[in-house]
Amino acid sequence: MSDADNPTTKASKALREAAKGLIEQAERLEAEMASHPLPTVPVAELKPLEPLGPPADADEAALRLIALDASTSGRNRDEVEAELSAKYPGAEISSLLDRFYPPQP
């Protein structure tokens, strides 16, 4: 088998080409950002969250997963809160969602 037909050589070449393309895109982005600086906005100091600890039961574990998935999928907090409150009455939905969504004004 010739060196050009070797799968490892082909994969290595493809990775180098992909890396070269990414580097070129990064350089273009850096140049564009340098020519159009964005105003800086101070960010309020964030208080670190306490670790959640293990879930008390399967329902709490499910709530955490649903809240995490909903927040990372861009779903509206109020919509998620209403849905979870209907499915899990009596659960502390609002405080759980506080961990996954930014504070509401």
21, 50: one domain: no
Give me the residue label for tokens 């039961």. 57
31, 48: one domain: no
**Which positions ≥6 away from 59 have C-beta within 8 Å?**
88, 91
Q: Residue 50: what residue type? A: E
Contact (CB, 8 A) for 80 and 70: yes
How many domains are there within the chain? 2
Q: Global pTM? A: 0.47
Give me the residue label for tokens 């070269």. 20
Q: Name the band, by pLDDT with cuts 50, 70 and 90, for residue 80.
A: very high
Domain that holds residue 102: 43-105
pLDDT at 105: 59
